[in-house]
Amino acid sequence: MLRYITMISALLLGAVIIFALAPDAIEQQKKDPVTMGGTVKQVQKVKEGSMPADHDKQAIDCKSCHYCEYPTVSNPCLISCPRTDMVSVHHDPSEGPEIVIMDMLPGEWGAVAFTHKLHAEMAEMSGGCASCHHYNTTGPVLKCVTCHEPKRNREDISVPDLEAAYHRQCITCHRQWSRTTDCDYCHFEKGIDADKARKIKMEKYAGKGHPVVLEPERVVYDTDYEKGPKVTFFHDEHVKLFKIDCATCHHDENCMKCHDVRLDKLRTPKDRDYTVKTHKSFDDHHQPCISCHEKDNCVKCHLNTVMERFNHYKITGFDLTKYHDKIACNKCHIGNDYKVKLNSNCMSCHSATFKPGKFNHNNVGFQLDELHADLDCSDCHAGNNFMVAPKCADCHDDFAYPNKRPGKKLMLPNRN
């Protein structure tokens, strides 16, 4: 019995000691993360203060970065960086400098005058600004030297130094594009100062933007699908009619698609209607289209012959005519959902405005005269059926359109 009492006493004493030392242990862990089993790199980051000291008091939900309840240095439970979703300020190429002089690095070659504006104008189709400015979230764009040290001899070799960052960022595209890695392709000779380098580049590129890219009007794909080998893609319709932004499809392009020394020339107006043989995987070919065509049957696109252009009247039975052909599709098809069949009766959309005193008849390209301006809509449009043209003879024995008109025609306003 005495032995059990002794054991229990020892356990209680141990518990008291642990609780008594706990605050000191916690404080020690804050000062020395090694006690928490952190790696050398993690410890170094904590000691260097890479995280703001009060970041736990900032208006940030812990779950934005950590997926577990109690993250530690040894197990921070970090999710993929959400910085791309946090960007609220989007910069335009015109905001940046035309030429950026890179002359911070010593070496056998001189400065590089980087045509920033020309590169930035097409960056959206290959990763956007983040393809160079990787860790920008919002606000001012950071310079490369903010993260990449100019000196090669440094403690943290996980981050490339400035020279390596420049070359890793640029050399792949230029190797593919010009098929050479000659230094003088980018570098001036040693001894040419920054002002002279800038002046030489500015004389050649000042005020110049990226050449206009001639978009194809129609592309016909020859596929291996037996039930419908021909897929006709009307590029101009997707851009102009459906208002699809270039980067929606061309968000992972390579400069080499246009800039390749093996290409004799860029696309000309004669090359805007062409046929290509499919060469990508099934997923790669369908990925740009699937967000809109996910529920479509294959035969929607895959036919045995080249498809005709989209005709709203032939496909839906509703003629856009001059009143709706200038309106963006998503004004009627909310969220670009074309699966929901719309009511073709004008009142289904215009019930709030097709009322006496509210409707401006000029919007349909016809200004009513004084005799007709104060009439109710149903006086001319029987049953408020605006799909059927009014008949003047219903009211006027000697009045026939278009010899006599109840007003004058107007130019329709642009509704884009």
Task: Let me know if 199 is exposed, middle or buried by CB neighbors in 10 A (0-12, 13-18, 19+).
Answer: middle
Which residue segment(s) compose the domain that 160 sits in? 93-205
> According to the model, what pLDDT value does residue 359 have?
77
Q: Does residue 179 share a domain with residue 193?
A: yes
**Residue 114: Cβ within 10 Å count:** 18
Q: Which of 310, 336, 370 is the last residue of a domain?
A: 310
The predicted pLDDT at position 329 comes to 78
Rounded Cα distance between 131 and 124, Å, is 9
Confidence label for 1 from pLDDT (cuts 50, 70 and 90): low
Q: Is the pLDDT of residue 37 over 70?
A: no
Range from 22-26, 71-75, 214-218, 225-229 that averages highest in pLDDT? 225-229
Is 94 a residue whose pLDDT tops 70? yes
User: Which two tokens mark 202?
Assistant: 């500015």
pTM of the shown model: 0.51
Average pLDDT over residues 200-220: 80
Last residue of a domain, one of 48, 79, 110: 79
Half-sphere exposure of 159 toward its Cβ, with a 13 Å CA cutoff?
A: 15
Query: Within this chain, do residues 200 and 123 fall inside the same structural domain, yes or no?
Result: yes
- Residue 56 burial (C-beta neighbours within 10 Å; 0-12, 13-18, 19+): exposed
Weakest mean pLDDT among 74-78, 250-254, 258-262, 278-282: 258-262
Alpha helix locations (H) across 206-245?
Answer: 235-236
Residue where one domain finishes, among candidates 176, 205, 234? 205
Query: What's the pLDDT tens digit per position in 64-83?
Result: 788 888 888 888 888 876 66
In a domain, residue 68? The reply is yes
| Same domain assignment for residues 233 and 293 | yes
The answer to whether residue 100 sits within a structural domain is yes
What is the C-alpha end-to-end distance of the chain, expressed in Å? Answer: 93
Residue 113 tokens, joined: 């005058």
CB 148 within 8 A of CB 102: no
d(CA 114, CA 105) in angstroms, rounded, equals: 14
pLDDT at 271: 64
Highest-confidence range of 19-23, 33-37, 105-109, 347-351, by mean pLDDT? 105-109
In a domain, 140, yes or no: yes
CA distances from 380 to 285, 321, 352 (A): 53, 20, 19
| Two tokens, residue 313 | 């009247």
Is residue 402 in some structural domain?
Answer: yes
Query: What is the structure's pLDDT at 162?
Result: 92
Q: Pick 135 or 409 by higher pLDDT.
A: 409
- Same domain, residue pair 187 and 226: no
Choice between 160 and 203, residue whose per-residue pLDDT is larger: 160
CATH number for the domain including 251?
A: 3.90.10
Verify that 230 and 197 share a domain, yes or no: no
pLDDT 10s digits, 303-322: 999 988 888 877 787 878 76
Q: Which of 21-35, 202-216, 296-310 has the lowest mean pLDDT?
A: 21-35
What does the pLDDT look like over 164-197, one tens digit per residue? 999 988 888 888 777 777 888 888 888 777 778 7
367 and 357 in a single domain? The answer is yes
pLDDT attached to residue 42: 35
Asked whether residue 19 is assigned to any structural domain, the reply reads yes
Q: What is the DSSP string of 18-37?
A: HHHHHHHHHHHHHH-GGGGT
* Cis status, amide bond into 402, omega within 30 of 0: yes
Decide if 270 is inside a domain. Answer: yes
Domain CATH number, residue 190: 3.90.10.10
The yes-or-no verdict on residue 326 having pLDDT over 80 is: no
The total domain count for the chain is 5
Is 26 found in the same domain as 42? no
Residues 300 and 229 placed together within one structural domain of the fold: yes
44 pLDDT tier (thresholds 50, 70, 90): very low
Residue 185 sits in the same domain as residue 271: no
Q: Report how far residue 10's alpha carbon sits from residue 183's, in angstroms, rounded to the nearest whole number.
A: 75
Domain assignment present for residue 415? The answer is no
Q: Are 149 and 162 in contact (CB under 8 A)?
A: yes
User: Mean of the pLDDT values across residues 281-285?
Assistant: 84
Average confidence score pLDDT of the chain: 75
| DSSP 3-state of 273 | strand
Q: Are residues 201 and 97 in the same domain?
A: yes
| pLDDT tens by residue, 330-361 | 778 877 777 778 887 777 777 777 776 677 78
Shared domain check, 182 and 157: yes
Residue 22 has pLDDT above 50, yes or no: no
- Residue 33 in this model has a pLDDT that exceeds 50: no
124 lies in the same domain as 26: no
Model confidence at 27, pLDDT cuts 50, 70, 90, reads very low
326 part of a folded domain: no
